[in-house]
A and B are shown apart, each in its own frame.
Chain A
C-alpha cells in the first residue's frame, strides 16, 4: 500500500512512503509530485485596504504525490471538499498548482499546458459547458475543430461517438432539449473526440439509468483495456469505483491518505468480516454448541424452519471452513453462505475519522 507523505497517520500495516523522484518505474501516464494548492484570497490587498474581513487562503491540496499508470483505471475518492475537483482541474491545466508538478505523459501541466490539453479529455459532471442552442452535432463539431480535426475527420469521429453513445437519433436536436442522462453522455463523447490517451472522468454515470450506466462502465473498461486509455475517475459511487478501478487514491482534507487496490484498502482497514450461514436440520442449541469456537459474536436466530448463524472472523482464516465441515458432519443442510466484507465506505470513513482526529490534535497543540 502507498500512503504518501502523511506523518499524521496512525500505525497501519506496512505503509510505504513514496517520493516520485525515487520511483524507478517506467514513465507514468500521469505523475503527480508533491502537489500543493492554496487558493489565495482574491484581491487580498484591496480587501485589506478597505478592512474587509476575509477567511484567509484556502488550502485545497497538500503534498499530493502518486502516479497513474498507462492504461490504468484509477479512482479518486473522498468526501465533498476533499480536493478531488481541484486535483482534476490541475491535471486538466484549468488551475495552476501553488507548488509541485503534474506531468501527463512527461509533459508539464504548467509549462506545456496546450500540449497537455491535447493529451487529456475531461468529462465533468457540468452540463453547462455546452452551447444549449446548438445541436448535438454542431456542438461536437465545434469542439472537434478546436482540437484541430479537419471537418471530414471530425464528422467521421462524431458519427462513431454518436453511435457509441446511442445519440445518433438525437444528432440534430438542440443540446438544451436533451435529457440529463444524454447530456452526460455528450460530456464523455466530447472528451473522446480527439482520442486522448488520458481521460479525466467526474461522476460519468451520475445521471444515467442503470442500463446506460452499466454500458458506460463497460466502455470505460474497454477503453483502458483495448486502447490503453488511462482513466482518472472521480466518483462518489463507491461500488462503481470498486468495479472499475485497479487502484484507488483516498483523498481527505487535501491530502492523499492512501493509494492501493480496493481489496488491499479494505483488508487494511477492516481485517474482520461477518459470515452469515443459513442452516437447516439442527436445533439452535445444537448449532451454538457446534460452532462455539467458530468465531466471535456468534448469533443464531430462527428463520422459518431454518436457522441463520452469524459470526465474525478474521478475513480469510479457516474458521468458515471449520464451521461448514462441523455443520455438515452433524447432518445439517447449508442453504446459503454470505460473507460481508469491509466496503470502501468503511475505508473512507476510517480515513476521514483519522484526518479529523489529526486536525483536532493539531488544533489542540496549537
Chain B
C-alpha cells in the first residue's frame, strides 16, 4: 500500500510538471481544442455525402460521423499508449533531463510509467472532446454500457502500452524512435477500422490482406467500443473481442517488461542510459 502511495505521488509529480510545461505553451493548448472541433466539423460534412445511408452490413457505420469520431477518439488514445513511453524516454534523453530524474530514488520503470502519465491525461481530454463536440454540435448519441466501453479502452490501451514498452526499449538501446513501432501505428490506422469498416479490406484486397486486421489489437478494441457505444451490445455479445484482448495482454505485457528490464541493464552497462 505504501509502495502504491509512493508511486502515485511520483506519478502526480510528473503530471504536475508536464502540466506546468504545457501551460508555458498556452496557445498550443487552445489550438489543440480548435483542431479537434475542426476535425469533427469536417467529418460531419463528409458524412453528409453518405446521407443516403451506409451499407446495411456495416452495422457500426450507419451513422458514419459517430463511427469516425469514436474511431479518432479511441485511436488517439491507443496511439498515446503505444508511443508515449518511448517518446518520454527520447524527450528526456534529448533534453538532457534524464540524468536529473534518474538521480532521484525513482526506478527507470516508474520513470517511464510516470512520465507518460500526463500524455494519458491530455489524450483523455482530447478524446473526450471528439465525443463531446459530436454530441453537442452534431447530434451524435451514444448508448450502451459505458463501463464496458471503458474496460475495452483500458484493455486495448494496456495491450498497446505493452508494444509501447517494447518501443521504449528500442529507443533506450538504439537512441532513436522505433521504426517498427511507427509502421505498426500506421498499419493500425489503416487496418483497424478507424476511418472505414475493416470488412472492406476483405472485399477489395482479399482475405490474406484482411488477416492483418485480425493480428492488430486495436481492431478488437475499436470493434468492441463501437459495438458497445454505437450498437448497445452487452457483455455477452462482446465476449470474443474482450477475450482476444486479454490473450494479447497476457502474452505481450510480461514479454515487454522482460525486454525493457534487459534494455535498461544494457544501457547502464554501455553507459548510454542518459545519452542522447
Interface residues of A (CB under 8 A from B): 37, 39-40, 42-43, 60, 86, 89, 92-96, 98, 114-115, 117-118, 120-122, 124, 126, 128-131, 133-134, 138, 141-143, 145-148, 174, 190-191
CA distance A3 to B172 in the complex (A): 38
Q: Is A122 within 8 A of B95, CB to CB?
A: no
Q: In B62-110, which residues have CB < 8 Å from any A CB?
A: 95-97, 99-107
Q: Which residues of B contact A89 (CB under 8 A)?
A: 271
Contacts of B6 in A (CB 8 A): 148
B20 engages A122 (CB within 8 Å)? no
Chain B residues within an 8 Å CB radius of A145: 9-10, 12-13, 16
The reply to whether A129 and B97 form a contact with Cβ atoms under 8 Å apart is yes
A96 near B24 with CB under 8 A, answer no
B17 within 8 A of partner (CB): yes
Residue A94 contacts which of B97, B106, B273 (CB distance < 8 angstroms)?
B273
- Chain A residues with CB below 8 A from B274, complex form: 94
Hey, which chain B residues are within 8 Å of A126, CB to CB?
96, 99
**Partner-binding segment picked from B213-221, B223-231, B262-270:** B262-270
Summarize B's interface: helix, strand, loop or mixed: helix
- Which of B14, B20, B99, B265 interacts with A124 by CB under 8 Å? B99
In the complex formed, the residue of A with least CB distance to B106 is A146
Partner of A114, one of B107, B174, B273: B107
Instruction: Indicate if the CB atoms of B104 and A129 lie closer than 8 Å.
Output: no
A142 closest partner in B (C-beta):
B17
CA A141 to CA B14, docked complex, whole Å: 11
Quick check: is B27 within 8 A (CB to CB) of the other chain? no
| B residues in contact with A95, CB < 8 Å | 268, 271, 273
Please measure, in the bound complex, the distance between the C-alpha atom of A96 and the C-alpha atom of B266, giving whole angstroms: 9
Is B272 among interface residues, defined by CB-CB distance under 8 A?
A: yes
Chain B residues positioned under 8 Å from A120 (CB to CB): 103
In the complex formed, the residue of B with least CB distance to A113 is: B107
Beta-carbon contact of B100 and A130 below 8 Å: yes
A89–chain B nearest beta-carbon distance, Å: 7
- Tell me which of B96, B101, B271 contacts A146 (CB under 8 A): B101
Chain A residues near B106 (CB, 8 Å)?
114, 117, 146
- Interface pair B103/A122, CB less than 8 Å apart: yes
Query: Which secondary structure dominates where chain A touches chain B?
Result: mixed
Judge if B21 is at the interface, Cβ distance under 8 Å.
yes
Contact status B100-A190, CB under 8 Å: yes
The 4 closest A-B pairs by CB, nearest first: A128-B96, A145-B13, A129-B100, A146-B104
B residues near A96, Cβ cutoff 8 Å: 265, 268-269, 271
Q: Is the CB of B105 within 8 A of A114?
A: yes
In angstroms, how far is the closest chain A Cβ from the Cβ of B107? Answer: 6
Chain B residues numbered 234-276 whose CB sits less than 8 Å from any CB in chain A: 265, 268-274
Contact: A142 with B268, CB < 8 Å? no
Could you say which residues of chain B place their CB within 8 Å of the CB of A86? 271
Please name all residues of chain B whose beta carbon is closer than 8 Å to the beta carbon of A147 when the two chains form the complex: 104-105
A residues in contact with B24, CB < 8 Å:
133-134, 174
Bound-state Cα–Cα, A213 to B24, Å = 33
Expressed in whole angstroms, the minimum distance between the Cβ of A85 and any Cβ of chain B is 10
Cα distance, A270 to B6, chains bound together (Å):
55
- A130 adjacent to B97 (CB under 8 Å): yes
Report the nearest B residue to A135, measured CB to CB.
B20
Considering the complex, give the chain A residue whose CB is closest to the CB of B17: A142
- Is A134 a contact partner of B20 (Cβ separation < 8 A)? yes
Least distance between B25 CB and chain A CB atoms (Å): 8
Partner of B104, one of A40, A60, A117: A117
Q: In angstroms, how far is the closest chain A Cβ from the Cβ of B29?
A: 14
With a 10 A CB-CB cut-off, give which of B95, B102, B105 has the most chain A CB atoms. B105
Instruction: Convert B1-16 into 0s and 1s, putting 1 for each residue whose CB lies closer than 8 angstroms to a CB of A.
Output: 0000010011011101
> Smallest CB-CB separation from A193: which chain B residue?
B104
Enumerate 21 A-B pairs (CB-CB under 8 Å) in ascending A order: A39-B270, A39-B271, A42-B270, A96-B268, A96-B269, A115-B105, A117-B103, A120-B103, A128-B95, A128-B96, A129-B99, A130-B97, A131-B95, A138-B20, A143-B100, A145-B13, A146-B13, A146-B106, A148-B6, A174-B24, A190-B100
CB distance from B8 to the nearest CB of A (A): 11
> Are A131 and B270 closer than 8 Å at their CB atoms?
no
B6 to chain A, nearest CB (A): 6
Q: A94–B100 Cα gap in the complex (Å)? A: 10
B98 to chain A, nearest CB (A): 8
* Minimal Cβ-Cβ distance residue in A for B104: A146
A148 touches B105 (CB 8 A): yes
Chain A residue contacts of B20, Cβ below 8 A? 134, 138
List 18 other contacts, CB 8 Å, given A95-B268, A129-B99, A133-B21. Answer: A40-B269, A60-B271, A94-B103, A94-B274, A95-B271, A117-B104, A121-B103, A128-B95, A128-B96, A129-B97, A130-B100, A131-B97, A142-B14, A143-B101, A146-B10, A147-B104, A147-B105, A148-B105
Q: How far is the CA of A114 from the CA of B13 in the complex (A)?
A: 18
CB-defined contacts of A122 to chain B, threshold 8 Å: 99, 103
B265 to chain A: closest residue by CB = A96
Q: How far is the CA of A133 from the CA of B28 in the complex (A)?
A: 15
- In the complex, what's the smallest C-beta–C-beta distance from A13 to chain B, in angstroms? 37
Q: How far, in whole Å, are A60 and B273 apart by their CA atoms in the complex?
A: 16
Decide: A148 and B9 in contact? CB cutoff 8 A: yes
Complex: how many Å from CA A95 to CA B274? Answer: 9
CB-based contact A129/B96 at 8 Å? yes
Q: Which of B9, B12, B104, B270 has the most chain A CB within a 10 Å cutoff?
A: B104
Which of B14, B99, B100 lies at the interface centre, i.e. has the most chain A CB atoms within 10 A of its CB?
B100
Chain A residues with CB under 8 A of B272: 42
- Chain B residues near A121: list those with CB within 8 A: 103
B residues near A143, Cβ cutoff 8 Å = 100-101, 104
